[in-house]
Amino acid sequence: MTHIARRHFGLTALAATLIGCSASAWSSDAAYPNPARQVRIIVPFTAGGSSDVQARMLADKLGRLWDQPVVVENKPGAGGHLGGRYVADQPADGYTLMVGSIGLHAAYGIYKKLPYNPATDLRVVTVLAEMPHVVVAAPALPASDMQQLTALAKKAPGTVNFGSAGVGSSVHMMGELYKLQSGAPIVHVPYRGSSAALNDLLGNQIQLMFENPPTVLGHIRAGKMKALAVTGKQRLAALPDVPTAAEAGIQGFEATSWTTVAVSAKVPPAIVEKISADVRKVINTPEFRKGLEEQGMTAVANSLPDAQRFVAQEKVRWDRVILEGKVSAD
């Protein structure tokens, strides 16, 4: 065999080896999840909020289904976009999931200079759950219903403050929707997560929040804050005596917030399909659905195409609120 022939043979063998290694690596990915790897669920908000509660429920059940560790990490900041960008930048292996929200997927129009594009850099694999919000007030606020709240805010503009989990969060956007529909000039005070805002509401440092049910039900039942309305079409089973916003006289103030399970858009379609199928399998178990209901949430678990259509429709809805309410984070 000539020197050139031997060299050609060697290069051919090397190429075959590399192709074999590549196929082996793909086979490893296709066998997702690998029990030797740790799966992380990123919560882009502080611990203790609704997204955190859902993520920990999901981590527990996915860990059992996959028979491997699934851990929750909180990465709050920038209305959730610190965590959102972190997930978008992770390796395309499917081992980093995220519990997303309205702020991340539908209300990011308030930011004009985000360092990433949530629509193209993240992929929603399913909508996890949806829930109405609860309008909660400090006991000292001299208003016991929504009409009294609106009258108070209009009588003394700038004196009623509402806290949120951050600019663009669902908690913030619900407040902006109320302002738009009622004309009440309430003032937004953003926090680094709902927990800090709730602490100030309990301490009468702010007067109002438009919060997710899981984080306020205990405080309402203990008499530490009062519930003025819920934002859904129907009353909340966990708060049967609290009227809907429509029943309370605020027409058009009807919306639910929702959470998603999302991954980096770079994750291969086969792995995305696997994650979507397994997450939906977990959400649809009676135990998980009951756990959500006890927290005032309703399971969704829709398919990949349906989830992406839903998010696109919600983006149009919240873009209108942002435009008409002149809401901006810049």
Which residue, chain included where needed, has tokens 């209108």? 320
Q: Does domain 132-230 have CATH number 3.40.190.10?
A: yes
Q: Residue ranges per domain, the chain?
A: 39-131+257-324, 132-230
pLDDT in tens, 143-192: 999 999 999 999 999 999 999 988 888 899 999 999 999 999 999 999 98
pLDDT tops 70 at residue 321: yes
Helices assigned H by DSSP within the chain = 3-30, 50-66, 81-88, 102-105, 118-121, 146-155, 170-182, 194-202, 213-221, 269-283, 286-294, 304-324
Separation CA 329–CA 326 (nearest Å): 10
pLDDT recorded at residue 79: 83
Dihedral pair phi/psi, residue 95, rounded to 5°: -95, 5
pLDDT tops 90 at residue 237: no
pLDDT recorded at residue 78: 86
Same fold yes or no, 39-131+257-324 and 132-230: yes
Q: Are strands 187-190 and 161-164 parallel, antiparallel or unpaired?
A: parallel
Q: Which two tokens mark 10?
A: 């060697």
Q: What class, spelled out in words, does domain 39-131+257-324 have in CATH? A: alpha beta
Cα-based angle 194, 115, 322 (whole degrees, multiple of 5): 55
Entry pTM: 0.80
pLDDT in tens, 77-123: 888 899 999 999 999 999 999 999 999 999 999 998 999 999 999 99
Q: Are strands 39-43 and 96-101 parallel, antiparallel or unpaired?
A: parallel
pLDDT confidence of 25, banded at 50, 70, 90? very low
pLDDT tops 60 at residue 35: yes
In percent, the amount of the chain with pLDDT more than 70 equals 91
The residue-averaged pLDDT of 71-80 equals 92
pLDDT recorded at residue 308: 94
pLDDT recorded at residue 169: 86
pLDDT confidence of 36, banded at 50, 70, 90? confident
Average pLDDT in the chain = 89
pLDDT in tens, 277-308: 999 999 999 999 999 988 888 999 999 999 99
